[in-house]
Amino acid sequence: SMEEKATEMGANAILNVRIKYSNLGGTMGNTILVSVNGTAVLTE
């Protein structure tokens, strides 16, 4: 997960989290692609 990866990098917070999704259609018209990104930071 994004939280696990940030912790592995030594961060204790994630800023500017963005969630994007696209409808890909699919056979039933219900296939989506979800993309999440953010900036891992170390705060005091």
* pLDDT per residue as tens digits for the range 1-44: 889 999 999 999 999 999 999 988 877 778 889 999 999 999 98
Overall pTM > 0.85: no
Are 19 and 33 spatial neighbours (Cβ–Cβ below 8 Å)? no
The pLDDT value recorded for residue 27 is: 73
Show Cβ contacts of residue 34 under 8 Å, excluding neighbours closer than 6 positions.
19, 20, 21
Q: What is 1-24 written as a DSSP string?
A: -HHHHHHHTT-SEEEEEEEEEEEE
* Closest C-alpha to 13, from 3, 25, 22, 1: 3
In the numeric block, the tokens 């961060």 are attached to 11
Q: What does the domain layout of the chain look like in residue ranges?
A: 2-41
